[in-house]
Amino acid sequence: MPIVTGALSAHQRFLVLGRAGMDLYPDPPGTRTEEATNMVVSLGGSAANIAVALTRHDLQAALLTRVSDDAIGRYCINQLAYYGVDTRHVTPVGGEARNSLAVVESRIQDHQSVIYRNGAADFELTNEDIEHIDFSSFDALISSGTALAHGPSRTATFEGLQRARDAGLPVIFDIDYRPYSWPSAAVAADVYSRASSYCDIIVGNEDEFGFMAGTRDQGLTMARQLGQRPGRIVVYKMGENGAITITPTNETRTGIFTVTALKPTGAGDAFMGGFIAGLVRKWPLDRAVLYGSAAAAIVVSRVGCAPAMPTSAELDAFLSSHPGPTITE
C-alpha cells in the first residue's frame, strides 16, 4: 500500500539499501584538505546516513549492503550498531573490494569533497543477499539510486525492489545520482527510469531530475510526470529555493530554514530522515517536507553526516526557536 494512503504506523521498520563508508573531516573546521594535519573520522555513505537519521527519530532501521572484510568495513559495522542500526544484512566481502572513503571539508567557500569508490564493496551486493531477507518483517524499503550504478548490485537492487513490491511494502527512492559512478548519463537515466516504476515516493534535487529528463531545464517537467501515478509522492528539491512536492492531485511549494552552514554535505540524507519521520506521524505532506528541510539545515551547520543527524527533540527545539521557512523567488 503506498505511503500516501497512510500505510505508515507509529513503529516503522525500514530496510535501507545502499552504501556505508568512512568519512574523514580535516580538523579544525575550515581547514583545507591539503593543509590538514588532523582528521575527524565518522560513519558516512548516503544509505547509512539515512538509516542513522531514522533511528534518531526512534524508528527502526536495518541496512542492506556489503562492506570490505577489513578494519574499515568493521568500523562501519561497529558505527552502525552504535547508532542503533540493525547490521544483520551487512555482509563483509573479501578480495580487492574496498569500502567507500570520503574526505570532506567543513567549509563552504571553495569546498572540496574527494570520494574514493574504486572497487567499491557495496557494488558487490548480490541476489543471494536479497534472497535471505524476509521482506514481510519490514514495513517499507528505502533504496539509494547509487546502488544501481554497477553490477551485481544493480541486479540485486532491482530484485529487492521487486520483492518489496511483492510483499506489499511502500518503496521510497532516493535518486542520489553520482555521475562518477556511471558509464554515462544516458545509461543512468534509463536505469533510473526503470527503477522509478517500482516506487511510491521519489526524492531528488533539480539536477537529478534534470539528468533523468535529459536536460536540467526539463527536470521539473520530469518530476511532474512521475508524480502523476496514483498514490505517488515526488519531492523536487531546489536548494535555497525550497522544494516542490507533487502528487497526482496537488502541488505544494515549501521553503528552507536559513542557517550559517559549515558544509554542503549530508543535507539530502537528513532531509529523508526527517521527511519520513513526519509521514510516520501522519502529518500533512507540507509539514513533513518542512521537518525534513529543518533536519537538513541542522546537519549542514554541524561537522560530519551520521553524527550530525538531529534527534526529534533537537528538531522540535530548532523549529520552535528558528524563524522561517523562507522561499527565494
pLDDT of residue 280: 95
Q: N- to C-terminal Cα distance for the chain?
A: 36
**CA 174, 240, 262 angle in degrees (round to 5)?**
85
Q: What residues contact residue 261 under an 8 Å CB cut-off, 6+ apart?
A: 108, 300, 301
Alpha carbon distance 95, 97 (integer Å): 6
Alpha carbon distance 160, 133 (integer Å): 9
pLDDT of residue 327: 64
pLDDT of residue 80: 98
Alpha carbon distance 174, 188 (integer Å): 14
User: What are the residues facing 291 on neighbouring strands?
Assistant: none
Whether 125 contacts 64, CB under 8 Å: yes
Domain chopping of the chain, boundaries: 7-319
Alpha carbon distance 322, 316 (integer Å): 10
Q: What residues contact residue 78 under an 8 Å CB cut-off, 6+ apart?
A: none
Local structure of residue 233 (DSSP, 8 states): E
pLDDT of residue 17: 98
For the stretch 158-195, what's the b/e string if a residue is b when 16 or more beta carbons lie within 10 angstroms of its beta carbon? bbbbebbbeeebbbbbbbbbeeebbeeeeebbebbeeb
Whether 280 contacts 53, CB under 8 Å: no
pLDDT of residue 2: 43
pLDDT of residue 326: 74
Tell which residue, 91, 70, 114, 83, has the closest CA to residue 19.
91
Q: What is the pLDDT along the chain (329 residues), one digit of tens a residue?
A: 344 445 555 558 999 999 999 999 999 999 999 999 999 999 999 999 999 999 999 999 999 999 999 999 999 999 999 999 999 999 999 999 999 999 999 999 999 999 999 899 999 999 999 999 999 999 999 999 999 999 999 999 999 999 999 999 999 999 999 998 898 989 999 999 999 999 999 999 999 999 999 888 899 999 999 999 999 999 999 988 999 999 999 999 999 999 999 999 999 999 999 999 999 999 999 999 999 999 999 999 999 999 999 999 999 999 999 887 876 55
pLDDT of residue 1: 37
Tell which residue, 188, 132, 179, 149, has the closest CA to residue 15.
132
CATH topology of domain 7-319: UDP-N-acetylmuramoyl-L-alanine:D-glutamate ligase (3.40.1190)
pLDDT of residue 215: 87
